[in-house]
Structure 1
Amino acid sequence: MLERILWLGKLVDAYGSLLTERQQLCLELHYDQDLSLGEIAEQLNVSRQAVHDMLKRSELQLQEYEDKLGLVNRQQRQLALLQQTASLLADLPEALKTDGRIIEAAKRIQKLLELPDEV
C-alpha cells in the first residue's frame, strides 16, 4: 500500500499539473492531508461516491500519462545509473593504488554512461 502511494506521489509530481484543479485538490486532500472520502465530500459539497470516482479517475489518468510518456520510469533509471556511477567514483581513490583496478573502474564507468536510446 505504501509503495502504491509513493508511486502515485511520483506520478502527481510528474503529471499533476495536467489534471484539473479539482482533481489536484481531491488528490491533495486525500493523500497529502489524509482526509477521508466523507470529509473531502463535505468540503467539496459532493457525494462520497463522487470523491471516490474522482480519485480513481485521476489515478488512472496519471498512470495513462506514465504509460504513454514514461517520465517517472526514465527518471528512476537515470537515478539508478547516477547512483551506480557515484559508487564507482567512490572506489577510485582506492583503485588508484593499482593500475588494473583503476582501468577496470574506468571501463565500468564508461559502460554505465553509455545510456540506452530510450533513456
Structure 2
Amino acid sequence: MFEKKIKLGNLYAFYGSLLTEKQQEILRLYCIHDLSLGEISENLDISRQAVYDTLKRSKKILEDYEGKLGLLSKFSNTRNKVNQLIKSIDSFRIIINDNLDRDKMLNKIDEVKELLVEILDEGL
C-alpha cells in the first residue's frame, strides 16, 4: 500500500499539472498531506465515494501518461546511473596508485563527484 502511494505521488509530481484542479487537489491531499479518503471528503465537502472515484480515475490518467511518455521511468533510470557513477568514483579513489599526481587526481575526482551530486539534487 505504502509503495503504491509513493508511486502515485511520483506520478503526480511528473504529470499532476495535466490533471484538473479538483483532481490535483485530491491527489495533493492524499499523496502529499497523507490524508485518508474520509478526511479528504470532509475537507472538500464531497462524498468519500467521490474521493475514491477521483483518485482511481486520476491514477489511471497518470499511469497512461507514464505509459506514453515514460518520464518517471527515465528519471529513475538516470538517477540510478548517477548513483552508480558516484559509487564508482568512490571505489576509484581507493585504488589510486601512489605514483600518480595523487592530489591532482583526487581533486578532479571530487569535482566530478560534486557535479554528479548536483545533477541528482536538481532532479528532486
TM-score normalised by L of structure 2: 0.71
Report the count of equivalent residues: 99
Amino acid at match of 1:19: L
Moved over 6 A (4+): none
* Distance in 2 between residues matched to 1:37 and 1:87, nearest whole Å: 41
Query: What's the CA shift for 1:89?
Result: 1.0
Q: Does 1:33 align with 2:33?
A: yes
Where does the alignment leave 5 or more consecutive residues of structure 1 unmatched? 100-119
Where does the alignment leave 5 or more consecutive residues of structure 2 unmatched? 100-124
Q: Give CA deviations for 1:38-86 in whole Å, capped at 9, x if unaligned.
A: 3322333322211111010011111111111000010111111111111
Identity over aligned pairs, percent: 43
Alignment of 1:99-110 (within 5 A): none
- Give the corresponding residue for 2:11: 11
- Give the corresponding residue for 1:77: 77
* Distance in 1 between residues matched to 2:17 and 2:51, nearest whole Å: 19
CA gap of 1:38–1:2, structure 2 versus 1, over 3 A, is: closer
Amino acid at match of 2:36: S
Contact 2:41 2:47 in 1 (8 A): yes
* Distance in 2 between residues matched to 1:87 and 1:38, nearest whole Å: 44
Report the aligned-residue RMSD: 1.9
Determine helix, strand or coil for the equivalent of 2:97: coil
Query: What's the CA shift for 1:98?
Result: 8.1
Amino acid at match of 1:80: N
* Distance in 2 between residues matched to 1:72 and 1:36, nearest whole Å: 25
* Distance in 1 between residues matched to 2:42 and 2:94, nearest whole Å: 62
